[in-house]
């Protein structure tokens, strides 16, 4: 069985290390043929295969690391087959392959949507126009053949066709609650005209990834207070202000005048590593300071363990190589220390599309915020 992951170009080795680590913890093993700057990873697991039963892929997936647990993966797919086209009638060849698979095995799920995809690289993007045009006739013929639901919905399996060029593709599936709903696993956001900097998209993407709309409404609302360490010029503070949260913006640099004019930003020209919140405690601590990741994580841990903050979103800046080996011990330490202190906590981390060489971490330790977060089903 093949697991297929998408990631940022250049991070394939880090993703492989993470997948191997996650599988080893579950007693699984596999191997990959690594292609640098390919923006994807195929991880072959010889000991696993889908049984010949209708729910086989769902049952198989329960044994595998979840996408949510993987920092460097944008998308997670289960490979079905590779197909090299012998004619120009590609749609018919795909239908034949799927029909044969369906007749031979009982495990092929009913598809509720289909995506034609390519690697998120400069070479891969050359396939974008082809994939977009090809998707329409493919979708129509799949529905006529009874292989695709009449209306697309998120409750079932998706069919993914990954094109390396117009002569061949890999067929794969993704399963509900363990995939990204975004094309190529990328959440693209529009830069707000009035935002102080493009860094605002990092926090917006983090909130939208880690929270459902209902969770977001519960966790970020009027009357809440936050501290933004390294705030200048205010990109992260902007996202909090948009959600009516009052912000203590901490930085020696200047904050955008329009942001200050909202009345929701209090500016403090102080060292972010020494700052203390004005009222002794805040709901949220956010931080995008350019510092060593271990030093930042220790600062975040201090705020959370000492009760200065109930929750945090922060970035860990990454080295040029061995990034997984740097990040994993930090996350393990956070999980161990916070679990020992609070019992149940939420800790999530992801290498976001709007990040570069950094990982965003999302943490909740306060019992009331945890209750609100867990009450709202994502």
Question: What are 301-347's pLDDT values in tens digits?
Answer: 999 999 999 999 999 999 988 999 999 999 999 999 999 999 999 99
CA distance linking residue 293 with residue 319, whole number of Å: 9
Considering the candidates 202, 317, 348, 350, report the single residue annotated as catalytic: 317
Average pLDDT of the chain to the nearest whole number:
95
Mean per-residue pLDDT for 215-228? 97
Q: What is the structure's pLDDT at 54?
A: 81
Per-residue model confidence as pLDDT tens digits over 154-176: 999 999 999 999 999 999 999 99
Instruction: State the average pLDDT over residues 132-141.
Output: 95
Active site residue 190: no
Task: Please state whether beta strands 246-250 and 265-268 pair in parallel, antiparallel, or not at all (unpaired).
Answer: parallel
Q: What percent of the chain has pLDDT over 90?
A: 92
Q: pLDDT of 263-301, one tens digit each?
A: 999 999 999 999 999 999 999 999 999 999 999 999 999
What does the pLDDT read at residue 50?
A: 87
Q: Which of 37-41, 45-49, 173-177 has the lowest mean pLDDT?
A: 45-49
Of the candidates 47, 157, 142, 67, the residue with the CA atom closest to the CA atom of residue 107: 157
pTM of the model: 0.95
| Domains located in the chain, CATH noted | 2-185 (3.30.2300.20), 200-375 (3.40.50.150)
Long-range pairs, 194-197, Cβ under 8 A, ≥24: 194/238, 194/258, 195/235, 195/238, 196/233, 196/234, 196/235, 196/237, 196/238, 196/255, 196/256, 196/258, 196/259, 197/233, 197/234, 197/235
Q: What is the mean pLDDT of residues 46-71?
A: 92
Indicate the pLDDT class of residue 33, thresholds 50, 70 and 90: confident
* Measured distance CA(159)–CA(143) in Å, rounded: 12
pLDDT beyond 60 at 42: yes
Between the alpha carbon of residue 274 and those of residues 229, 250, 365, 376, the distances in Å are 10, 10, 22, 35
Check whether 378 has a pLDDT greater than 80. Answer: no
Predicted pLDDT at 377: 61
Instruction: Judge whether residue 367 has pLDDT over 70.
Output: yes
pLDDT given at position 241: 98
* Residue 376 scores a pLDDT above 80: no
Give me the sheet containing 111-117, strands edge to edge.
31-32, 40-44, 2-6, 75-84, 168-174, 157-165, 111-117
Is pLDDT of 131 > 80? yes
pLDDT of the residue at 103: 80
Residue 203 DSSP SS3: helix
Average pLDDT over residues 211-230: 96
Question: pLDDT value at position 345?
Answer: 97
Collapsing DSSP to helix, strand or coil, 214 comes out as helix
Q: Does 77 have pLDDT greater than 70?
A: yes
């Amino acid at each position: 069985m093949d697991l297929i992951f998408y990631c940022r170009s250049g991070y394939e080795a880090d993703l492989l290390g993470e997948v191997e680590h996650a599988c080893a913890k579950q007693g699984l093993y596999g191997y990959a043929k690594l292609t640098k700057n390919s923006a994807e990873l195929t991880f072959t697991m010889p000991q696993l295969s889908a049984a010949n039963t209708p729910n086989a892929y769902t049952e198989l997936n329960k044994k595998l690391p979840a996408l949510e647990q993987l920092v460097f993966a944008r998308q997670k797919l289960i490979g079905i087959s590779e197909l090299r086209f012998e004619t120009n009638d590609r749609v018919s060849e795909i239908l034949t392959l799927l029909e044969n698979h369906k007749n031979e095995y009982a495990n092929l799920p009913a598809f509720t949507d289909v995506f034609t995809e390519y690697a998120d690289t400069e070479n891969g993007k050359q396939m974008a126009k082809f994939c977009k045009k090809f998707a329409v006739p493919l979708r129509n013929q799949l529905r006529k053949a009874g292989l695709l639901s009449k209306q697309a919905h998120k409750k079932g399996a998706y069919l993914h066709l990954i094109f390396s060029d117009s002569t061949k593709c890999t067929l794969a599936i993704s399963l509900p609650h363990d995939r990204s709903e975004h094309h190529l696993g990328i959440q693209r956001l529009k830069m707000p005209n009035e935002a102080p900097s493009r860094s605002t998209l990092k926090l917006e993407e983090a909130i939208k990834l880690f929270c459902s709309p209902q969770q977001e409404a519960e966790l970020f609302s009027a009357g809440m207070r936050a501290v933004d360490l390294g705030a200048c010029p205010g990109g992260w503070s902007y996202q909090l202000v948009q959600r009516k949260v009052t912000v203590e913006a901490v930085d020696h640099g200047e904050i955008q005048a329009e942001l200050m004019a909202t009345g929701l930003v209090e500016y403090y020209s102080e060292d972010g590593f020494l700052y203390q919140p004005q009222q002794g405690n805040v709901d949220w601590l956010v931080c995008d300071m350019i510092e060593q990741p271990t030093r930042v994580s220790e600062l975040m841990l201090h705020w959370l363990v000492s009760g200065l903050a109930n929750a945090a979103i922060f970035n860990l800046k990454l080295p040029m190589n061995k990034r997984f080996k740097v990040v994993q011990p930090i996350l393990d330490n956070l999980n161990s220390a916070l679990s020992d202190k609070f019992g149940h906590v939420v800790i999530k981390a992801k290498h976001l599309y709007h990040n570069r060489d950094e990982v965003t971490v999302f943490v909740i330790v306060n019992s009331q915020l945890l209750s609100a977060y867990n009450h709202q089903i994502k």
